[in-house]
Structure 1
Amino acid sequence: MPEPTCKMFQSHPDSAVPKESPLAWSYQHVGLPKTDRQSTVLLHEHAFLGHLLLRGGAIALDKALRSVLNMSLPARPLSLTEKGDYSVQWLTPDEWLLIVPQGQEFETERKLREQLQDEHYAIVNVSGGQTLFTLTGKNVLPLLMKSAVYDVHPANFPAGKSVTTVFANTPMVLRRPDEERWELVVRRSFADYIFRWLLDAGAEYGINVSR
């Protein structure tokens, strides 16, 4: 199978320059809350994951994903599928967000392009512009309820659902991969703001931050 003719961006090249999390400045200048064993919310940033935007026909993209990652596109709108450390999420009728482990995005994109060949599609590596926060704990729900405009009640937001919404006055992707875990896909430029918002909104729950 011939190599794809497009140029791809290696977002994790070999370099002596150290990578910095989108929250590196926040950790240094804002600091972390004091560890509290009574905390009921835990925040963790998963920096440096691979974020690939996929656009095109669902049949062709699904076939390529099955071949490369042995996983399928979500079967329904506003949903996501997971397989280990990989996930793919419905964004619009012809757009999906694929998140892969750190350093895997370049090779994953190359293999997808090999499979797709002459299909009408687009793959955009947005890894450097996004980060992912997870929230766990028994008081995550009330924290989300006072932060997001979308109805996050379990009756409206079951496990496996994902939406693009407004959170703390900023656009972001809100996901619930399972019953215990919520995820926020945040633009890099908003990472510090959202971090500060969560620390403030979660103060009454004794929010902790895991690094």
Structure 2
Amino acid sequence: MTNEKNQMYFASNPNSKHDEHLIDYRIDGVDVKFYTDAGVFSKMRVDYGSGVLIKAMKDQTFPKEGILDVGTGYGPIGLFAAKFWPDQEVEMVDVNERALELARRNAQLNNIDNVNIRQSNIYAQVDKKFGLVLTNPPIRAGKKVVDEIIVKAKDHLVDDGLVLVVIQKKQGAPSAKKLMTQVYSECEILARDKGYYILASRK
């Protein structure tokens, strides 16, 4: 069981045998390439839910106090955010060291330098507040982890800051919406696409 868990994408040092791929992903004329590998989330393609979030986030307004991508993986959400808002610093955190190394390579590959990519178990190493918090939470890590990402995002938002969460209906979107309404007093469904919900709340 321990060995199996060490191969999961939410492990700090997955021990899966390396199996690298290069993905080319385009949204609305913005093209970003990604190296991926075994032991990271959605290694063969950019996760559909991440794509729905990327599309939804680009039209949002938020205080220009920086952007935080929680559970960045190899970086699709955070690196697109850095492309969309080149004047903003994007902090990209994950517990998975293999994923973070890929994210750093992907930032270099795409000539993106307005990012800070580092290890953090959820918000443990995050000591700033941001105008925008983005997350495609690690559902397989369990509801407790997902709920902590949602609830504690509030502590890392400036006033009027925005948190965007992508989650599938069958994987808990209704309960996540209820939780966000309790924590932030409101929660809007920005988009629905193939069962994926984009949930938005402001501090």
Considering the TM-score relative to the shorter chain, is it more than 0.5?
no
Query: Please, what TM-score do these two structures have when normalized by structure 2?
Result: 0.28
Bigger-Rg structure (1/2): 1
Query: Please, what TM-score do these two structures have when normalized by structure 1?
Result: 0.28
Higher helix share: 2
